[in-house]
Amino acid sequence: MLPGMGDDTCAITLKVNGSTLRLQVAPWTTLLDLLRERLGLTGSKKGCDHGQCGACTVLVDGVRINSCLSLAVMRDGASVTTIEGLAEGDALHPLQQSFIEHDAFQCGYCTPGQLCSAVGLIAEGHAHSEDDIRELMSGNLCRCGAYPNIVAAIGQAMRPRRDA
């Protein structure tokens, strides 16, 4: 059984964007709500809150998931990376830079989820063509319809840069 469990809340440890946090959470708190409401990390968006739009996508132990369908208490001990944790100081993550270069967003609401999802996609290593990127980004909806540029931005980030 879980030590430190009270009637209503449980003690958990989470590493969020590199910082280790000790938190007391109610079991019905989703990871998304914890990030946004408790930790002030509002980059991850609550779009549909049902795992359909992908705007809440974050990386847990390097794996992309829908944080809206994840209970925070069940992630005790995990390492979470959100959009706020992708850049290294002022140096943007290559995918962030590529999204800017390709104009891969319009309103920007889905972009944090798109970026975290794309980081996960590249780490998974199963995308070998633009068709693969489209298929493996299908869990992230963009109501502005920026898909062609999103695919191009991810495609560029997957290729080694010649000027690097």
Partner 1 sequence: MNRFGYTRAGDVAEAVHAAAGDDAAQFIAGGTNLVDLMKERIAAPSRLIDITRLPLRAVKSLPDGGLEIGALVSNSDVAYHPEVASRYPLLSQAILAGASPQLRNMASTGGNLLQRTRCYYFYDAALPCNKRAPGSGCPARDGVNRIHAILGASEHCIAVHPSDMCVALAALAATVHVTGPAGARAIEFAEFHRLPGDAPERDTTLQPGELVTAVALPREGFAAHSTYLKVRDRHSYAFALVSVAVGLRMVDGTIAEARLALGGVAHKPWRDPTAEALLRGQRPDDALFAAVGEHLVRDARGCGHNDFKIALVRRAVVRALQQAVAGGPRA
What residues line the site for partner 1 (CB under 8 A)? 1-2, 5, 8, 10, 27-28, 30, 49-51, 54, 57, 63-66, 69-71, 73-74, 76, 117, 120-121, 124, 126, 134-140
CB of 112 to partner 1, least distance (A): 13
Q: How far is the CB of 70 from partner 1 (least distance, A)?
A: 6
Specify the residue, 117 or 149, whose C-beta has the smaller distance to partner 1.
117
Question: Is the Cβ of residue 16 or residue 31 nearer to partner 1 in the bound state?
Answer: 31
The neighbouring-strand residues paired with 59 are: 64, 81
Concatenating the DSSP letter of every residue in 9-72 gives -EEEEEEETTEEEEEEE-TT-BHHHIIIIIS--TTS--SSSSSSS-TTEEEETTEEEEGGGSBG
Task: Give the β-pairing of 79-81 and 10-16.
Answer: parallel
Query: Whose Cβ is closer to partner 1: residue 3's or residue 160's?
Result: 3
Give rounded-to-5 percent helix, strand, coil for the chain: 35, 20, 45
Rank residues 71 and 92 by Cβ distance to partner 1 and give the closer one.
71
Q: How far is the CB of 25 from partner 1 (least distance, A)?
A: 10
Q: Shortest approach of partner 1 to residue 69 CB, angstroms?
A: 5
Identify which of residues 49 and 84 has a Cβ nearer to partner 1 in the complex.
49
60 φψ region: left (φ > 0), alpha (ψ -120 to 50), beta (else): beta
